Amino acid sequence: MSKRVLTTESGAPVADNQNSATAGVGGPLLLQDQHLLEKLARFNRERIPERVVHARGSGAYGHFEVTDDVTGFTCADFLGTVGKRTEVFLRFSTVADNLGGADAVRDPRGFAVKFYTEEGNYDLVGNNTPVFFVKDPVKFPDFIHSQKRDPFTGKQEPDNVWDFWAHSPEATHQVTWLMGDRGIPASYRHMNGYGSHTYQWTNAEGEAFFVKYHFKTNQGVRSLSSEQAREIAGTDPNSHQTDLLQAIERGVHPSWTLYVQIMPAAEAADYRFNPFDLTKVWPHGDYPLRRVGRLVLDRNPDNVFAEVEQAAFSPNNFVPGIGPSPDKMLQGRLFAYADAHRYRLGVNHTLLAVNAPKATVAQNYGRDGLMASNNQGRAAKNYEPNSYDGPAETGRPLSAPLAVHGHTGTHEAPLHTKDDHFFQAGELYRLMSRDEQSRLVANIAGGLAQVSRDDVVEKNLAHFHAADPSYGDRVAEAVRALRED
């Protein structure tokens, strides 16, 4: 029996639902990819008024202080002087659950930082894991749908969760992270944060470097077992919010040390892993961590709705010296995040106090729209260029240009010498102690054993076998034992 044809909302057949259109193999995404834009734009508008993802969140203000000289790699002003401080707002969140969900659940945690720099706001949007489940944004709405509440049962379904992962072998690395000991942080203070994506830094000479951000918690990493998490979620669903609020109120200010991995742009093409694949890490032996500074949170918001729920982070908010890479997931988020905020909060959400620049003034020709308060007086013009001394372009790009080549189309990501879906997942598994491996296996089996279709179970077991034969064997045995009980 032939499958029904997947179409766009206008009824046109979809040729490729796995790969976004790019400018050549490995190039940046194309605005002409109507299927991708339609899919992301519709996904952003599926829920009101809470966020579609990262709905359950907490946040705090603080500062970032530069401790080490990185001016050889970036001309970003807020990173330009050792000792320089920049005000920040950091929002933590779970990913899949609703606004009223519990904090102590097995789920990635959002780690979004807004730097209020003198050159404009810089938003760094990441998670508490260095990798993610998918590497192409065209698959992101489908992934989230598989993790959210089922349209019929109204609850998260193991069949949906594991069926998607069965058809997405690239998720094996992140699944290993999520189901391991760090899958449920003890608090927001006791977890690391990662930019996860690859970004570009450009120095004053125009040299380009690719970077990955690592925020290492100075409180030490602490996590919860599945049993501890179930008890805490049942007795205090707001456990992470309570912990962060009370720690700051009593003067215990959480902090993180920022490190970066730096890759000269010329080395990207021949690196053994695709450096722009969000499901991969750069081993520290190849690109060691370089310290940059210290982030401290020292002030709670006065109003959670006004400052946490209305906080809008967009990874396309760059400053001079920092820009995007060809990371396809990042490229998709450059559009999707800002579009989600315009839908959810309105086109003038950047005028809200938590989102507005603090160390400089926004000057542009944006006018009107819902909740407009930026009319700028009768003498101001709303077009450019003009003869009335309005703000004008600088002619200086924020970052170095990305090279493109080849033909447009829906390309799979280019393969590098060590690229596959399972190698790094296996490396992570083998780094774990025997006890850590046992808890990982138990966590995976607990969900996989509930799946109703044997073929879905077998596909997932094949992924774990491909990562490491022992990994697959132990998960298979644990699933069998649970199903026989």
Task: Identify the pLDDT of residue 47.
Answer: 63
Long-range contacts of 459-466 (CB under 8 A, 24+ apart): 459/166, 459/167, 460/162, 460/165, 460/166, 463/165, 463/166, 463/169, 463/172, 463/421, 463/422, 463/425, 464/172, 466/169, 466/172, 466/421, 466/422, 466/426
For residue 133, what are its two tokens?
């489940």
Interhelix angle 226-235/434-448, rounded to 10 degrees, is 60
| Closest residue by Cα to residue 217 from 252, 173, 256, 249 | 256
| Closest residue by Cα to residue 215 from 287, 132, 301, 124 | 124
Instruction: Check 44, 121, 127, 460 and give the catalytic one.
Output: 127
User: What residues in the chain have per-residue pLDDT under 70?
Assistant: 1, 10, 47-48
φ, ψ of residue 90 to 5 degrees: the values are -120, 130
Residue 165: helix, strand or coil by DSSP?
helix
Active site residue 127: yes
Backbone Cα Rg of the chain: 23
For residue 59, what are its two tokens?
């946040």
- Cα separation, 333 vs 337, in Å, equals 6
| Closest residue by Cα to residue 340 from 18, 24, 55, 7 | 55
- Cα separation, 137 vs 392, in Å, equals 34
For residue 333, what are its two tokens?
């988020």
* Residue written as token pair 């902090």: 255
For residue 158, what are its two tokens?
């193991």
| Closest residue by Cα to residue 115 from 132, 90, 134 | 90
For residue 428, what are its two tokens?
């992570």
On whether the CB atoms of residues 293 and 67 are closer than 8 A, the answer is yes
For residue 336, what are its two tokens?
């999707």
Chain centre distance of CA 409: 25
Sign of the CA dihedral running 353, 356, 357, 362: negative
How far, in Å, are 104, 348, 363, 378 from residue 374 at the CA level? 41, 9, 10, 12
- Cα separation, 214 vs 477, in Å, equals 36
| Closest residue by Cα to residue 282 from 215, 217, 210 | 210
- Cα separation, 233 vs 103, in Å, equals 7
Long-range contacts of 33-36 (CB under 8 A, 24+ apart): 33/410, 34/8, 35/8, 35/138, 36/137, 36/138, 36/332
- 112: β partners: 91, 125
Active site residue 460: no
Task: Identify the pLDDT of residue 1.
Answer: 63
| Closest residue by Cα to residue 133 from 118, 151, 147, 148 | 147
On whether the CB atoms of residues 176 and 215 are closer than 8 A, the answer is no
| Closest residue by Cα to residue 105 from 46, 184, 178 | 184
Instruction: Check 19, 35, 44, 54 and give the catalytic one.
Output: 54
pTM for this structure? 0.91
- Cα separation, 173 vs 425, in Å, equals 4
Q: What H or E segment, with its residue span, contains residue 91? A: strand 85-94
